[in-house]
């Protein structure tokens, strides 16, 4: 079982490298993370964007571009289209957003003619390495779906399960977050959480998956808290995945882990034909690197 983000690297250095297409790659933070991934011998990138800028930035950061394909394109929407088409043409295994708006990037991903959309909802998954937690923790969805319906939460869970399997977890434990542990008709999050638990008990998400809820965050990650409060369950204190009820909760929780506890993290979008590296402009090059590594690991496991 992979318990540290750096442990993912060892699994990628065996066998052929996965190919990453990068839309609008003419950005220093993006190119730094790609350079590091190349230096680790885990990916082969295809860079799409302004060639002059890519070469200039690469020279500044000592990124050797020998043997790396660069596709000239100044129009950022066409950069996104080319990156997506490369995946559909089996010339790339997964994609990454560079220096362009998320809306422009996702428009290409969702294009009916050449996009990567499947029947399942797209959702964002963050993975955190937290100093005082005994394994990696996934949080979903903190970046895409604002107020998911019950049916959308089912897809979000399925996406998160796919993202968790590559970590080698024998039994995936999922906590559906709420403020209390009892179902309350005035708190929709508790109703959906209990329905998701019941769906899991009926085999909706697979025999090796346990979904429980509603559950407060402290009970999901702390055995001590669950024992004090007399809360019994298979997930309590040992959650692999936290499913948040709406985007503000996930956003605040994730940023608290990043900025207050200095947790290492990676982010990926699941639900498409391939993993999508979709990082924020404020993300560090380290976070972008871990996102590339995580996307490569998922891509390699599904190809």
* Rounded Cα gap, residues 192 and 195, in angstroms: 5
Which tokens go with 106? 């996702």
Q: Based on the number of CB atoms within 10 Å of its own CB, is 2 exposed (0-12), middle (13-18) or buried (19 or more)?
A: middle
What is the length of the chain? 303
* Rounded Cα gap, residues 247 and 97, in angstroms: 21
**Mutual orientation of helices 285-302 and 150-165 as an angle, nearest 10°?**
90
* pLDDT the model gives residue 284: 80
* Rounded Cα gap, residues 164 and 241, in angstroms: 8
* pLDDT the model gives residue 200: 97
Residue linked to tokens 């999050």? 189
What is the b/e burial string over 112-143, where b = at least 16 CB atoms within 10 angstroms of the residue's CB?
A: eeebbeeebbbbbbbbbbbeebeebbbbbbbb
* Rounded Cα gap, residues 104 and 188, in angstroms: 33
* Rounded Cα gap, residues 228 and 124, in angstroms: 33
Report the relative pairing of strands 43-49 and 172-177 from DSSP bridges.
unpaired
pTM, to two decimals: 0.95
The DSSP result for the chain, as a single string, is ---STTHHHHHHSSSSPEEEEEET---HHHHHHHHHHHHTT-EEEEEEE-HHHHHHHHHHTT---TT-EEEE---HHHHHHHHHHHHHTTS-SEEEE-SS-HHHHHHHHT-TTT--B-SSPPEEEEEEE-TTSSS-EEEE-SSS-SS--HHHHHHHHHHHHHHHHTTT-SSEEEEEE-SSSS--TT-HHHHHHHHHHHHHHTTTT-TTEEEEEEE-HHHHH-HHHHHHTT---SSTT--SEEE-SSHHHHHHHHHHHHHTS--EEEEEEESBSS-EE---TTS-HHHHHHHHHHHHHHHHHH-
* pLDDT the model gives residue 53: 97
* pLDDT the model gives residue 125: 97
**pLDDT tens for the 303 residues of the chain, in order:** 999 999 999 989 888 899 999 999 999 999 999 999 999 999 999 999 999 999 999 999 999 999 999 999 999 999 999 999 999 999 999 999 999 999 999 999 999 999 999 889 999 999 999 999 999 999 999 989 999 999 999 999 999 999 999 999 999 999 999 999 999 999 999 999 999 999 999 999 999 999 999 999 999 999 999 999 999 899 999 999 999 999 999 999 999 999 999 899 999 999 999 999 998 777 888 899 999 999 999 999 887
* Rounded Cα gap, residues 54 and 63, in angstroms: 10
Residues β-bridged to residue 71: 48
* pLDDT the model gives residue 279: 84
Separation of first and last alpha carbons in the chain? 20
* Rounded Cα gap, residues 2 and 298, in angstroms: 13
Residues β-bridged to residue 104: none
């Amino acid at each position: 079982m992979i318990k540290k983000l750096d442990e993912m690297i060892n699994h990628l250095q065996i066998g052929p490298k996965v190919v990453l297409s990068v839309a609008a790659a003419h950005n220093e933070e993006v190119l730094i993370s790609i350079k590091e991934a190349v230096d680790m011998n885990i990916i082969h990138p295809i860079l799409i964007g302004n060639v002059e800028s890519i070469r200039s930035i690469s020279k500044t950061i000592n990124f050797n571009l020998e043997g790396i394909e660069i596709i000239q394109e100044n129009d950022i929407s066409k950069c996104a289209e080319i990156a997506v088409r490369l995946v559909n043409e089996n010339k790339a295994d997964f994609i990454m957003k560079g220096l362009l708006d998320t809306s422009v990037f996702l428009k290409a991903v969702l294009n009916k003619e050449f996009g990567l959309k499947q029947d399942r909802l797209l959702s964002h998954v963050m993975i955190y390495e937290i100093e005082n937690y005994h394994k990696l923790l996934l949080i979903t969805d903190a970046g895409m779906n604002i107020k998911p319906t019950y049916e959308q939460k089912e897809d979000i869970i399925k996406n998160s399960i796919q993202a968790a399997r590559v970590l080698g977890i024998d039994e995936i434990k999922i906590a559906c977050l709420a403020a209390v542990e009892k179902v309350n008709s005035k708190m929709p999050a508790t109703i959906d959480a209990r329905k998701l638990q019941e769906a899991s008990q009926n085999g909706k998400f697979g025999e090796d998956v346990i979904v429980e809820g509603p559950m407060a965050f402290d009970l999901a990650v702390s055995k001590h808290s669950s024992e004090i409060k007399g809360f019994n369950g298979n997930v309590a204190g040992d959650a692999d995945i936290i499913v948040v009820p709406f985007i503000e909760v996930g956003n605040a929780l994730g940023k608290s882990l990043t900025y207050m506890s200095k947790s290492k993290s990676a982010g990926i979008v699941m639900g498409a034909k391939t993993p999508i590296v979709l990082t924020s402009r404020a993300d560090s090059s380290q976070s972008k690197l871990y996102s590339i590594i995580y996307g490569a690991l998922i891509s390699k496991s599904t190809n």
